[in-house]
Amino acid sequence: MIQYRLAALSVDNFKSLVDFKLPLADFTCLIGLNGSGKSTVIQAVDFVACLLKGQISRWLELRQWSPADLNSKLIRKSSITVGLVLRQEGEALLWNARFNRTSLKCTQEVARIDNRFLFVVDDGSYAIADEHGYMARTKIAFEYEGSVLSQLKNEMLTPELLALKEFLHNTVTLDVLAPQFLRKRASLSHGDLGLAGERLSAFLHELSVAQRAALLARLQACYPQLTSVFTRSLRAGWKELNIREQFGDTRLVTEAKHVNDGMLRLMAILAEILTGHAFVLFDEIENGINPELVEFLLDTLVDARQQVLVTTHSPMILNYLDDAVARAGVHYLYRTPEGYTHSVPFFSIPSVSEKLEVMGPGEAFVDTNLTRLYEEIQAMPEKEQGQGDADPR
């Protein structure tokens, strides 16, 4: 089966993302001042994934948003446009969509490889290319939310379209992981941790024996006194998370509500990396994690089988990245005078690139006046500002 990586994201008219483009590496790290739009990018990826899942109403409900909260207040547009470039062995699949926030539908969609069209939605109809490239239009006679692809049977799709759909179905955003939710009892995980990690206990309960062993081994690298992570089944199918620790001759069993915040967050992150998900996003990855464990966490994420995107405020996160990883994956987000969020590869900025020759990535970050950086970015040629390289259109 085709296995894609997301190479670029394009979003227009989603909150502060106006004509926003972002190239992505296997490990991508977003940095920037408060309010620059880092969390918004993660929300946008989650939004795009939910278009392909056909779950927009549910997605809005979980976030306690209304459709009016989606579009930017900085421009006068109603529709939201999104675009993806997915790559696999040199082949690039491009998918673009126009989303109507009133109907919660993608009213226009195009998927193509170079000039070979695979899928088109327009004027209330859709067309899928057959093995000869012929595309017969079919009227949309069914109800749907998000992308039309979300409602089409897999056997109707080309291998490329099926791979696109599978990739986004296996995209997981953990942008509001919080200890008070991680401690909760849960009954079923539905294959994910939940928006805030509220299904952690059920999620761990459903891991395979091998996955649980791998999780424990990774946690023991950080907490040598830990001997077991286990769940108990309660009445009505609820699952309770516990840990067992050994201190000398004393064995302690602790329920999740008494486990420290950092261990719970690390447990959730490491458990997610053990899954079959393709793309995982974490907001403010350093939150609650002890500084001495950050290097272990970063090594795990950089070496993960999945594609990973994180945001951070911490120079320490960058200091544990190799220079090559930092150059390829660290992007600086900033707001233009109009208020738009834009992105630029951080170490492509001349003054920052020079610092990387003699400093670590985190030290170069600390030594940079972020409030004045926009002036230097504006002086760079447009093709070097990062926006043009990520245009999926």
pLDDT of 156 over the 90 cut? yes
88 beta partners = 91
Q: What are phi and psi of 312, to 5 degrees?
A: -155, 155
Match 């207040």 to its residue by tokens: 73
Which 3 state secondary structure label does DSSP give 205? Answer: helix
pLDDT of 383 over the 60 cut? yes
369 beta partners = none
**Comparing 10 with 382, which gets the higher pLDDT?**
10
Question: Which tens digits make up the pLDDT trace of 239-259?
Answer: 999 999 999 999 999 999 999
pLDDT at 94: 98
Match 């966490």 to its residue by tokens: 297
Give dist(CA 302, CA 99) in Å, integer.
Answer: 33
pLDDT at 51: 97
pLDDT band, very low/low/confident/very high, at 1 (cuts 50, 70, 90):
low
- For residues 85-111, give the mean pLDDT: 96
pLDDT of 393 over the 70 cut? no
Q: What is the mean pLDDT of the chain?
A: 93
Give dist(CA 380, CA 324) in Å, integer.
Answer: 22
Which 3 state secondary structure label does DSSP give 7? Answer: strand
**Is 3.40.50 the CATH classification of the domain at 5-73+159-170+276-390?**
yes
- Domain locations in the chain? 5-73+159-170+276-390, 172-275
pLDDT band, very low/low/confident/very high, at 388 (cuts 50, 70, 90):
very low
Give dist(CA 264, CA 183) in Å, integer.
Answer: 8
Tell me, letter by letter, the H, E, C secondary structure of 25-69.
CCEEEEEECCCCCHHHHHHHHHHHHHHHHCCHHHHHHHHCCCHHH
